[in-house]
Amino acid sequence: MSKVQVGIIMGSNSDLPVMKQAAEVLEELGVSFEVTIVSAHRTPERMVTYANEARARGIKAIIAGAGGAAHLPGMVASMTSLPVIGVPVKSSNSIDGWDSVLSILQMPGGVPVATVALNGAKNAGILAAQMVGAFEADIAENLDKFKQAMKEKVLDAAAELEEKGYQAF
């Protein structure tokens, strides 16, 4: 892969089962990425360094996943002008995931964080690819093919349902 284009960060390795979905879709779309742990609460210095150095390292977007209080996406967004996509993660200490959703979603004016659904890392990966693809034709072409494949899958399923009837499912 080429120079890293998207950073995927998370507060804890317990977030990895969700966050790996972003890595998988980025890999499928041909977008280079890195994955690491950056905790807003347990390693704040590491978070500051990551946010401050990301652009210089060639990163074009950051996907930040966090559960519970979920401060990581917002804190990173406060330190960089790169787009940050927040992934609320339903963690073991979460209040049904709502604490994470609201912590990431309700950012103050001037510090935007694009927020996907609870455990929506796949969509975060697609959104990051779209951000990169806005300026890179090969990534845009991969996204077009990806979306066409989704369309064909739905049309195939519709044709099969209509042919066999709902009882066959």
**46 in a known ligand binding site:** no
* Nearest CA-CA partner of 83 in 44, 134, 25, 29: 134
**15 in a known ligand binding site:** yes
Q: How far apart are the first and last CA of the chain?
A: 41
Instruction: Return d(Cα 142, Cα 163) in angstroms, integer.
Output: 31
**12 in a known ligand binding site:** yes
HSE-up of residue 59 (Cα within 13 Å, Cβ side): 22
Residue ranges for the known binding site for substrate are: 12, 15, 42
Residue ranges for the known binding site are: 12, 15, 42
